Amino acid sequence: MNAPVQQAQVDILNRLYSMKLEQIEQANREGNSLRYQVLLAEAEAILSALNSTK
């Protein structure tokens, strides 16, 4: 894959992962366990995508 394109994808995934972590913290503070679990699964999927780009 083209290096600049791959770096752009990594940057996007990193930003998404950071945003997802913030959402997880908010759901945890609110005590919304279902939302927390869904967000956690989404974060794991993003992390998996990040790891596959390396």
Written as tens digits, the pLDDT of the chain (54 aa) is 588 889 999 999 999 999 999 999 999 999 999 999 999 999 999 999 999 987
d(CA 30, CA 35): 10
3-class DSSP state of 36: helix
Tell me the CA distances in angstroms from 20 to 11, 17, 40, one per residue in order. Answer: 14, 5, 8
Q: Are 9 and 53 in contact (CB under 8 A)?
A: yes
Q: What are phi and psi of 47, to 5 degrees?
A: -60, -40
Dihedral of alpha carbons 14, 53, 8, 4, sign = positive
pLDDT attached to residue 1: 58
